[in-house]
Amino acid sequence: MQAEDPKIYALSSRVSAVLATILECYLKPGYLKSTALANVKIRDPANFLPLEDMYLGGQVTASLHSCHGIEKQDLTNFRLRCLDFFIESASQLLHRFNLTDPLLESLKALDPQCILKKTVPSIAPLASQFPNLVHENDLNNIDNEWRLLRNTEINVQSNSSVWKFWMEVKKVKKGDDTPLFPKVGNFMTNFLCLPHSSASVERVSSQINLLKAKARNSLNTDTLIGMLHAKRTFENSTSDNFKITSTHVNLMTEHIYDQQE
């Protein structure tokens, strides 16, 4: 949720993994194996493990084995409270994420690995849910491009960001120098422009609070913007490796502090 790059395509698998990990702590393995994750009855005692077989974490398990003199009823009450915690954790996840939502599953198509491993046969389930980005009459064309893309080698590193991958897809040309994947490329890059989290905005707000501190509470908006831009410019550089371009040099004139200029 705090990533700078879009990670929405991983939401379904990551949430499912967390939920399954919680459920394994107190539900019977056979029941979980035979039941779809979205259909698991998290509050049914018939599916619970015996209290003494629940997984409570390595440190807690070791402490329980090494501690002596604790009343049996106290141990039972402690395990019951842990059980309530597991059930509430699973309940909160299911309340916030609909695991049966087809959109969450179809978002996996954004992942470049789906192209490299050919795990998603069609882009239509995702594209059809965004008629403002893909017209209904273009579904066949975009799906044909998707099928071709799965068999086309894209010149990007395996660890490249999802944004860089789809920008490279847009650059692939036909023999007549026209785009080979215009509809897929435009759909994916437009889709990635949708806000996927508020992490970036929150970081900027935190930086403003650090810059406009009590000792500098009179900084105006223009000064704050300039300081934020400077901070971002030097973010991945140091004083001995920052590359000064001709654009930087040309800005060093007598009008450098002229607000109008």
> What is the mean predicted confidence (pLDDT) over 110-128?
89
Task: Supply the pLDDT for residue 158.
Answer: 57
Mean pLDDT of the chain: 87
Cα(223)–Cα(221) distance, integer angstroms: 5
Domain C-terminal end among 65, 96, 127: 96
Does 252 have pLDDT greater than 50? yes
Of residues 211 and 22, more confidently modeled: 22
Q: Predicted confidence band at 23 (pLDDT cuts at 50, 70, 90)? A: very high
Residue type (1 letter), 22: I
259 lies in some domain: no
Does 208 have pLDDT greater than 80? yes
146 lies in some domain: yes
Does 260 have pLDDT greater than 60? no
- Same-domain check for residues 86 and 12: yes
Residues above pLDDT 70, as percent of the chain: 95
- Same-domain check for residues 157 and 217: no
Cα(173)–Cα(148) distance, integer angstroms: 13
Task: Supply the pLDDT for residue 159.
Answer: 64
- Same-domain check for residues 14 and 91: yes
Angular region, 160: left φ>0, alpha ψ -120 to 50, beta rest: beta
- Count of the separate structural domains present in the chain: 3
CB 234 within 8 A of CB 242: yes
- Same-domain check for residues 45 and 74: yes
CB 77 within 8 A of CB 49: no
130 lies in some domain: yes
- Same-domain check for residues 81 and 17: yes
124 lies in some domain: yes
Task: Supply the pLDDT for residue 148.
Answer: 94
Does 54 have pLDDT greater than 80? yes
Q: Predicted confidence band at 21 (pLDDT cuts at 50, 70, 90)? A: very high
- Same-domain check for residues 90 and 12: yes
Cα(43)–Cα(179) distance, integer angstroms: 54
201 lies in some domain: no
Of residues 142 and 99, more confidently modeled: 142
Task: Supply the pLDDT for residue 34.
Answer: 94
Does residue 139 sit in helix, strand or coil?
Answer: helix
Alpha helix (H) ranges present in the chain? 11-23, 29-34, 58-66, 72-96, 102-106, 112-117, 124-127, 139-149, 162-171, 182-192, 199-211, 221-233, 246-251
57 lies in some domain: yes
Q: Predicted confidence band at 30 (pLDDT cuts at 50, 70, 90)? A: very high
Q: Residue 54 is part of which domain span?
A: 8-96
231 lies in some domain: yes
Closest CA to 90 of 162, 157, 177, 18: 18
